Amino acid sequence: MSPTTAPAADALHRVFGYDAFRGDQAEIIDHVIRGGDALVLMPTGGGKSLCYQIPALVREGTGVVISPLIALMQDQVDALAALGVRAAFLNSTQGAEERARVERAYVAGELDLLYLAPERLTVPSTGDLLDRGTIALFAIDEAHCVSQWGHDFRPDYLALSMLHERWPSVPRIALTATATEQTHREIQKRLQLGDARHFVASFDRPNIQYRIVPKDQPLKQLLELLRTEHAGDAGIVYCLSRASVEKTAEFLVEQGIPALPYHAGLDARVRAANQARFLREDGMVMVATIAFGMGIDKPDVRFVAHLDLPKSVEGYYQETGRAGRDGLPSTAWLAYGLQDVVQQRRMIDQSEGDLAHRRRLSAHLDAMLALCETVQCRRMQLLAYFGEQSTACGNCDTCLNPPESWDGTVPAQKLLSTIVRLQRERNQKFGAGHLIDILLGRQTPRVDQNGHDDLATFGIGTELSESEWRGVVRQLLAQGLLAVNSDGFGTLVITDASAGVLDGSRKVGLRREPERTSTRSARKSKSAGADLPTELQPLFETLREWRAAEAKEQGVPAYVIFHDATLRELATRHPSTVKELGTVTGVGESKLAKYGEQLLEVLGMAAVSAP
Ligand code: ADP
Ligand code: ZN
């Protein structure tokens, strides 16, 4: 054993109550304790925090954590305090007096960890303050915020290269859950981490079940998912617009599901209050734009649902990654339809920025569409996107319910030639709805007005239903065989690649839309205690009630008291002595001292009342 790992292992047991390091944790921690720089790419829930928290405890001085998550600093500090770790933060939400108190504690060497918002570092007095104490290390959390390619760019992060210049001998550890090559390279370059050791973990999240379904009646579909599989569970529903966030949250509340809205248009106080309720109360559903979620370390989010198509695979993976940090089964569910593609293409066309920027947005969208339309394992495709090879996972919709593919060449030709005829013969362009009406031979007012029943393709597509046609259009768009015109009206045009389809030299493989009912084959309720043996469930519930009461009294989220995984182990192992209790995962010294007796009492009463 190397000389540095002994104190690290000691901190792991004593402070955090865990048996063993996971994955690369031991190596990363060892490297940083010895003063090395590290760049850590690990998925959400992988255990990044310990990678800097333990070195901060072991090395002399205070670990300085740069984090953009101002709204969450209080919770992070509370969670550490519950473990007996001396932590504090400095950010713009504090009054002068509180700030002065934290600064004094830092200078006096009374802090293990100090969380700083990035903009504070650019204030000269902050540098002087840091020089008056001892810096154990710098941890740069959410390091992908330095990347302009990514989706969370924060200009303040660019200034973080100064850490290396001003404090060259202080080790730095940058951490992120974003895994693409571009982001990786950009972090290395912009944070001057060229000499750092890189630790890249697998990004697989095996406990998350990925499902992507055709969007039909999104609210109804969502409700069915929540009622049949996630009753009483906490989860996040992502929508693209503020209006749909409001509408969806209202709908869920009307249906008796506790839901709250979150978007940038809400007053900051309302946002903070909703976030706090989501973190503190059990079984809350947060309906949000992507403004919500970064750094939310609630471990028991059981589902993440997307009602609109995410703009990139990175974004999608980040957002879905917020499910199941505790490692228990969770669902990532996305409903996506033709309108999503049209809308996003239109948004890209109208977006500000140069051609290169629009190309980048377009490339992101194409990768996302490819994921939606794949007949392969979703997880394989996701991991391949992050450069990881894998085999079919058995826990995604395409594995559980393999979609059929069919030869869609003839329908594609019918659709494309309708578009070509309208363009050539009438100099007209239309959106999907009218094109489908023509193919189905419907005498709509617009057909009458334009005399489109004279077209050679009028009524030649009755072998498919309207929704099947929408699937064809959507898939042709995704495959680049059809494009949304940049006129802003969402009209459809052919592409260079369409020619091969029209002249018969190129076949079109399409995926058959699964039946609406297919989700039934998925697992039933995934609530944390549901898969415990029936006889243990009452005890698990009793422990949850005890935890809820304790959390309420202290005004902290329940998981700050104990995670579900700890409650499960308590229910299964049923410890009856303080010593035994101390060996349960997640029960460290501080929590043992604080809750040991109460827990033994709760467990003891359960033993007495057991039949
Ligand atoms: P990340 O920041 O990478 O998303 P966290 O640091 O929040 O992940 O860790 C995810 C969960 O795993 C937390 O509940 C944490 O307490 C737990 N955890 C981390 N490392 C270990 C370990 N070695 N043993 C047991 N649990 C761990
Ligand atoms: Zn799979």
Look at residue 522 and tell me if it is in a domain.
no
Looking at residues 145-157, what average pLDDT do you find?
A: 81
Residue 206 Cα to ligand 2 midpoint, Å, equals: 10
How confident is the model over 499-521, as a mean pLDDT?
76
Average pLDDT for the chain: 90
Q: Region 239-256: what's the mean pLDDT?
A: 96
Q: Which of 402, 437, 454 is the last residue of a domain?
A: 402
Output the domain CATH number for residue 43.
3.40.50.300
- The CA 523 to ligand 2 mean position distance, Å, reads 15
pLDDT in tens, 405-450: 899 999 999 999 999 999 999 999 999 999 999 999 999 999 999 9
Residue 147's pLDDT band (boundaries 50, 70, 90)?
confident
Is any atom of ligand 1 closer than 6 Å to the C-beta of 42? yes
Give me the residue label for tokens 């954590």: 65
CA dihedral 453, 455, 459, 463 (to 10 degrees): -160
Residue 527 lies in a domain: no
Q: How confident is the model at residue 149 (pLDDT cuts 50, 70, 90)?
A: low
- Pocket flag, ligand 1, residue 46 (CB < 6 Å): yes
Residue 478 pLDDT exceeds 70 = yes
Do 243 and 297 reside in the same domain of the chain? yes
Is the domain of 329 the same as that of 425? no
Question: Is residue 22 within 6 Å of ligand 1 at its C-beta?
Answer: yes
The verdict on residue 315 lying in a domain is yes
**Which band of pLDDT confidence, cut at 50, 70 and 90, is reported for residue 521?**
very low
Listed residue (115, 118, 123, 120) closest to 146, CA to CA: 118
Question: Which distant-in-sequence residues (6+ apart) come within 8 Å of 123 by Cβ?
Answer: none
- Per-residue pLDDT at 596: 92
pLDDT value for 538: 87
Quick: pLDDT tens for 158-211. 889 899 999 999 999 999 988 788 888 999 999 999 899 999 999 999 999 999
Distance between CA atoms of residues 364 and 255, nearest Å? 35
Ligand 1 atom at minimum distance from 43 CA: 3
327 lines ligand 1 (CB under 6 A): no
Kindly state the average pLDDT of the residues 75-97: 92
Residue 519 within a domain = no
Q: Is the CB of 563 under 6 A from ligand 1?
A: yes
What confidence category does residue 251 fall into, taking pLDDT thresholds of 50, 70 and 90?
very high
Q: Is 146 contained in some domain? A: yes
Ligand closest to Cα of 208 equals 2
CA dist 52 to 10, 197, 401, 418, 590, Å? Answer: 15, 14, 42, 61, 20
pLDDT at 116: 95
Q: Order across the sheet with 330-336: list the strands.
A: 208-214, 330-336, 301-306, 234-238, 285-288, 259-262
Q: Which residues pair with 139 in a beta bridge?
A: 65, 173
Q: Check residue 260 and give left, alpha or beta (phi > 0: left; psi -120 to 50: alpha).
A: beta
Q: Check pocket membership of 321 for ligand 1, CB cut-off 6 A.
A: no
258 shares a domain with 324: yes
Return the residue whose CA atom lies nearest to atom 16 of ligand 1: 47
User: Closest ligand 1 atom, CA of 50?
Assistant: 6
Residue 455 has pLDDT above 80, yes or no: yes
Mutate to test the pocket of ligand 1, among 30, 42, 50, 141 (most ligand atoms within 8 A of CB): 50
Q: Are strands 483-484 and 492-493 parallel, antiparallel or unpaired?
A: antiparallel
- What pLDDT score does 474 carry? 87
Q: Determine whether the shortest distance from the Cβ of 21 to ligand 1 is under 6 A.
A: yes
Task: From 325, 560, 568, 591, give the residue whose CB has the most ligand 1 atoms within 8 Å, as the site to mutate.
Answer: 325
CA atoms within 13 Å, Cβ hemisphere of 52 = 32
Split at pLDDT 50, 70, 90, the class of 253 is very high
Q: Are residues 150 and 278 in the same domain?
A: no
Q: Which residues surround ligand 2, an ion (CB under 5 A)?
A: 377, 379, 393, 396, 399
Measured in Å, residue 408 CA sits from the centre of ligand 2 at 24
Does residue 33 sit in the same domain as residue 167? yes
* Gap from CA of 397 to ligand 2 centroid (Å): 7
Return the ligand number nearest the Cα of 211. Answer: 2
Joined together, the tokens standing for residue 100 give 């002065």
Amino acid at 366: D
| Residue carrying the six token digits 């002994």 | 6
Q: Which of 479, 512, 545 is the last residue of a domain?
A: 512
> What confidence tens digit (pLDDT) does each residue in 25-72 have?
999 999 999 999 999 999 988 899 999 999 999 999 999 999 988 888
Q: For residue 519, what pLDDT is reported?
A: 44
User: What pLDDT does residue 607 have?
Assistant: 63
CA 345 – CA 486 distance, rounded (Å): 8
Same domain, 315 and 245: yes
DSSP codes of every residue in 304-320: EEESS--S-HHHHHHHH
Q: Kindly state the helix (H) or strand (E) to which residue 90 belongs, with its residue range.
A: strand 87-90
Strand partners, 287: 237, 261
> How much of the chain exceeds pLDDT 70, in percent?
95
**pLDDT value at position 294?**
81
Containing structural domain, residue 505: 405-512
18 lines ligand 1 (CB under 6 A): yes
**Is the beta carbon of 50 within 6 A of some atom in ligand 1?**
yes
> How far is ligand 2, taken at its centre, from the CA of residue 391, in Å?
8
Same domain (yes/no): 188, 61:
yes
Angstrom distances, CA of residue 129 to CA of 52, 60, 121, 471, 513: 21, 17, 10, 60, 61
Identify the CA nearest to 474 among candidates 428, 433, 427, 430.
433
Does residue 520 fall inside a structural domain?
A: no
Ligand 1 pocket member 529 (CB < 6 A): no
pLDDT (0 to 100) of residue 570: 92
Considering the domain boundaries, does residue 347 fall inside one?
yes
Q: What percent of the chain has pLDDT over 90?
A: 66
- d(Cα 26, Cα 22) in Å, to the nearest integer? 7
- Residue with CA nearest ligand 1 atom 26: 18
| Same domain for 480 and 432 | yes
> Is the pLDDT score of 122 beyond 90?
no
> Which ligand is in closest contact with the Cα of 177?
1
CB-ligand 1 contact for 178 (6 Å cutoff): no
For 371-412, the pLDDT digits (tens) are: 999 888 999 999 998 888 999 999 999 999 888 889 999 999
| E strand segments, 314-431 | 330-336, 405-407
Q: List CB contacts of 257: < 8 A, sequence separation 6 or more.
A: 223, 226, 285
Q: Name the DSSP class of 12.
A: I
481, 498 in Cβ contact below 8 A?
yes
Tell whether 338 and 413 lie within a shared domain.
no
Does residue 441 line the site of ligand 1, with CB under 6 A? no
CA-nearest residue, atom 15 of ligand 1? 47
Question: CB of 152 closer than 6 A to ligand 1?
Answer: no
Could you give the CA distance from residue 244 to residue 566 in angstroms, rounded to a whole number? 37
Cβ–ligand 1 distance for 324 under 6 Å, the answer no
* Number of independent structural domains in the chain: 4
Sequence-ordered list of residues with C-beta below 8 angstroms from that of 321, at least 6 positions apart, any chain: 43, 44, 45, 177, 205, 208
pLDDT on residue 410: 96
Residue 542 placed within a domain: yes
pLDDT band at 514 (very low <50, low <70, confident <90, very high): low
97 and 172 housed in the same domain: yes
Q: Region 330-340: what's the mean pLDDT?
A: 94
Q: Using the predicted structure, report yes or no on whether residue 295 has a pLDDT greater than 60.
A: yes
pLDDT digits 0-9 by tens, 347-362: 888 888 888 888 888 8
Residues 177, 310: one domain?
A: no
Residue the block writes with tokens 């929408």: 470
Q: Of 169, 200, 231, which one is at a domain's C-terminal end?
A: 200
Residues 564 and 283 sit within 8 Å (Cβ to Cβ): no
Average pLDDT over residues 101-123: 94
Ligand 1 midpoint to CA 521 (Å): 31
d(Cα 184, Cα 457) in Å, to the nearest integer?
51
Q: Is the pLDDT assigned to residue 526 strictly greater than 80?
A: no
Amino acid identity for residue 19 in this structure: D
Are 350 and 459 members of one domain?
Answer: no
**Position 608 pLDDT exceeds 70:** no
Assigned token pair, 581 = 């209790």
